[in-house]
Structure 1
Amino acid sequence: MTVHLEAWSEEDLGLLHRLNAPEMTAHLGGPESDERVADRHRRYLAPGSGMFRVVLDGVPAGAAGFWPRQWQGAAVHEVGWSVVPECQGRGVAVAAAAAVVERVRATGGPRWVHAFPAVGNAASNAVCRKVGFTLFGEVSFEYPPGSFMRCNDWGLEL
């Protein structure tokens, strides 16, 4: 199995719609409107966006990326990932998350990377543990904007 990251491209809008399915967004507040998905796609295409297509053995399998965030008074990078159902349970998300951390490390900047999976998202919490993040505990986290959810705060010092 070979997993790598590639730059987000115009052709990835369909992948983003697949990742917006109810079963893929259950821990994120549910699917976004088509308009919001199109806006997200445009942001992912922007130079320096930090978002990537996850590729498994030459086939698009998901998305992963990083972005700046202020967290508890400090500048950090937040990371996230999503893998289509038929590629789950095979270590793809772990490989993608590790690759994103390496991309963050290469950019310099803040020395901490954080991930905020929902408390009930066992798979994403396991990814954090397997990549080497430290669990700092549960937090109230705003996502999507205007909605708060219970998340685990996982951090990794670069």
Structure 2
Amino acid sequence: MTSLSLAPWSEQGLDLLHRQNTAESTEHLGGPETPEQVRRRHERYLALTDGRMFLIVLDGQVVGSIGYWTREWEGEQVYETGYAILPEYRGRGLAAGALRLCAEEAGRQGSRRWLHAFPSVRHDASNAVCRTAGFELVGECAFEYPPGNPLRSNNWRLELPESARTTAGAPAPR
């Protein structure tokens, strides 16, 4: 039996980001980053205060990354999510499992109603992850990621539990 979990982002994440920074893994994200860009991304993940980044851990091995952060979307404050699984671990349902765990965490910790994902319309695997994790397809949209790289995306969303949010932004009393 395998054990899938999320661990807080740590220094271990820098090596993971370098391993994920391949042409294959970044095909739908504007291509590989420079080593300096990878280091800056890692530092942003460590300093994130409007969400959280995680290492995806399978049986004690780091196999990917996932997180959520606040963004404005169509005039509303929502959470956005992003995820990546190392190539040798793909095709096992790990991204969808990690996405469900991340959504649970966002619901517990956050104050936003929706968790959105914006995979490229051409990224079949990432769209399948959203569908499998229980997200609803809202439709296609124009998106830019990374900045300066326009792409056509699908807008997937998942409603987070109401009990986990308040209008003030603090978790509801339990």
Specify the TM-score bucket, using the shorter chain as the normaliser: over 0.9
1:85 to 84, 87, 99: 87
> Paired residue for 2:27?
26
Counterpart AA for 2:25: M
Give TM-score, length-normalised by structure 2. 0.88
Q: Distance in 2 between matches of 1:34 and 1:46?
A: 19
Q: CA RMSD in A?
A: 1.0
Q: Distance in 1 between matches of 2:110 and 2:80?
A: 14
How many residue pairs get matched? 158
**Structure 1: runs of 5+ lacking an equivalent:** none
1:68/1:47 CA distance change after superposition, 3 Å:
closer
> Paired residue for 1:110?
112
- Residues 16-56 of structure 1: CA deviation (Å, up to 9, x unaligned): 10111111000111011111100000111126450000001
Aligned-residue identity in percent? 51
Match runs of 1:63-78 below 5 Å:
63-78=65-80
Q: Distance in 1 between matches of 2:157 and 2:83?
A: 15
Runs (4+) off by over 2 Å: none
> Paired residue for 1:15?
16
Q: Distance in 2 between matches of 1:11 and 1:67?
A: 20
1:38/1:57 CA distance change after superposition, 3 Å:
same
Q: Distance in 1 between matches of 2:147 and 2:9?
A: 24
Q: Does 1:154 align with 2:156?
A: yes
How far did 1:11 drift? 2.3
User: Which structure's CA Rg is the greater one?
Assistant: 2
Q: Distance in 2 between matches of 1:149 and 1:102?
A: 28
**Structure 2: runs of 5+ lacking an equivalent:** 161-174
Counterpart AA for 2:78: V
Q: Distance in 2 between matches of 1:87 and 1:18?
A: 13
Q: Distance in 2 between matches of 1:146 and 1:12?
A: 25
> Paired residue for 1:44?
45
Q: Distance in 1 between matches of 2:8 and 2:157?
A: 25
SS of alignment partner, residue 41 of structure 1: helix
Give TM-score, length-normalised by structure 1. 0.97
SS of alignment partner, residue 101 of structure 1: helix
1:140 to 139, 142, 154: 142
How far did 1:12 drift? 2.0
Q: Distance in 2 between matches of 1:47 and 1:73?
A: 22
Q: Distance in 1 between matches of 2:96 and 2:76?
A: 26
Counterpart AA for 2:35: D
